[in-house]
Structure 1
């Protein structure tokens, strides 16, 4: 009786932990230079706490998955911040990601005046200088699949054509988002899935410039990869990594990229990513 109770209790704890882990945002990377420090219990720290709480609250009802704010009257105590959620995630996922980032960024970047944290679902950043409507390409983070592509020449041709298309469409932006996705046939049995996104406060030219730079930095000859900066991001995979139904409503793909559905197999546990920070 006692052993059965112990087993059941263990399974219950396992289930709770599993559900909690599954719903948590996927942390990717953070960046916070040591050269930018604030004094604990200072006015800047107080303003930072207010800013992060404001952004977290804004995420609960943000239709665009984006918001920016500034707290404080005069430098050097002013704090600027913003968040951007991936275009296909729902409002609950966006809110949960920003709320997690609000706590996480202070733990990973203690006493830093400038910090940025990336998750698969969102990005959160703050600075002691204005960052709204400012295109920034550094730091940039590159992640890639360790498996190589079997036909790199053909693959790179399809990839170039596809990322050129989503760069142009994301730069223009519609429905309050600078976002575009596309899927293209690589082989008769494989499709290439791509996504590009900029913060919506950028101009068409700024978004285009930022995404063009990410194209140049994408890994070559790999089955998947991504590059993200404080202002934009791009990703490609041989499996659907975004919510296609949500994207179809937001940004319908151009007709020339549409093709009959083809079977795509995603093998769990086979993807390894390497991360580099370029400063």
Structure 2
């Protein structure tokens, strides 16, 4: 079991509800707000950050797709931990299952394996007959579909999270947040892991901490596009909030006023 996270902060969630199909994966059909606060945790066995199930493509209990999907999830369990990323396909034609698993760049092999295992088990419970699904934990992302989504920016399948606490000087804080995340985006897209973390001074002995990451099926150019698009949503997501995230199926950022990555 992973250690309890230090970041037990009240958060709020805004998300899009996708209508997935075999031709257009994870397309948005509506937008709404969940008006509840929850405590962010990274203990496996607890709820994931969020998940989506395909609403239009299903398979039956005895379908070859189920067999291929089970094998795919097993493959990702072995592929992802050594490098923090795994991608693969199993089957042919309408029974082909495509998937990827991404672990946060600072996560150990052991914790990566634990997260991918939990994600595979939990998403099958939540989306038992859906050909496409995606689930996010604090430490990993797992995504699969009967459509080939590799190398394509998934900007539609996303959600926001923000801390309910507000800073005293929103304008200055927002500028510093955007500057830090933009600097990290410039750094991440030219690294093999498409991942970067960093910090900046806020004054009064306080610091701002940030993280950006892309799935490694994207090209470096598309990673930059994905991150820049996410960062452009800061005003909508997290205006003047002490912490926040924009998370999609291809990239994400997070910032906080406390350290949240592993040393």
TM-score by length of 1: 0.76
Report the counterpart of residue 75 of structure 2 in structure 1: 54
Is 1:199 aligned to residue 215 of structure 2? yes
Alignment partner of 1:93 is 2:114: no
Deviation at 1:46, TM superposition (A): 0.9
Of the structure 1 ranges 95-104 and 130-139, higher mean CA displacement relative to structure 2 is found in: 130-139
Normalized per residue, the structure richer in strand is 2
Q: Displacement, 1:59?
A: 3.1
d(CA) in 2 for partners of 1:41, 1:181: 45
2:233 to 214, 217, 230: 217
- Distance in 2, Cα, partners of 1:187 & 1:230: 34
How much does 1:138 deviate? 1.8
**Structure 1: gaps (5+ residues):** 1-15, 246-279
Distance in 2 (CA, whole Å) between partners of 1:89 and 1:25 is 18
1:223-245: CA deviations, max 9, x gaps? 000011111000000000111x3
Aligned equivalent of 1:160: 178
Match of 1:232 in 2: 251
**2:116–2:142 CA contact under 8 A, matched in 1:** yes
Q: Is the 8 A contact 1:25 1:121 kept in 2?
A: no
Deviation at 1:35, TM superposition (A): 1.4
Partner of 2:96: 78
Deviations 1:100-149 (A, max 9, x none): 11111100111001100000000001000112222211211100000111
Q: CA deviation at 1:87?
A: 0.2
Of 47, 66, 69, the residue aligned with 1:45 is: 66
- Stretches of structure 2 that go unaligned for 5 or more consecutive residues are 5-40
**2:189 is paired with a residue of what secondary structure?**
helix
Query: How many matched pairs?
Result: 222
Corresponding position of 1:65? 84
- Does structure 2 conserve the Cα–Cα contact (< 8 Å) formed by 1:25 and 1:120? no
Q: Would the alpha carbon gap of residues 110 and 84 (structure 1) be closer, same or farther in structure 2, given more than 3 Å must change?
A: same
Q: What TM-score do the two structures reach when normalised by structure 2?
A: 0.80
Q: Which residue of 2 aligns with 1:261?
A: none
Aligned 1:124-163 pairs, distance under 5 A: 124-163=142-181
Q: Distance in 2 between matches of 1:79 and 1:140?
A: 22
2:144 corresponds to 1:123? no
Residue 44 of structure 1: CA displacement? Answer: 0.6
Q: Match for 1:24 among 44, 53, 56? A: 44
Q: State whether structure 2 residue 105 is matched by structure 1 residue 105.
A: no
Partner of 1:273: none
Give how far 1:23 is off.
5.0
Larger radius of gyration: 1
> How much is the aligned-residue C-alpha RMSD, in angstroms?
1.9
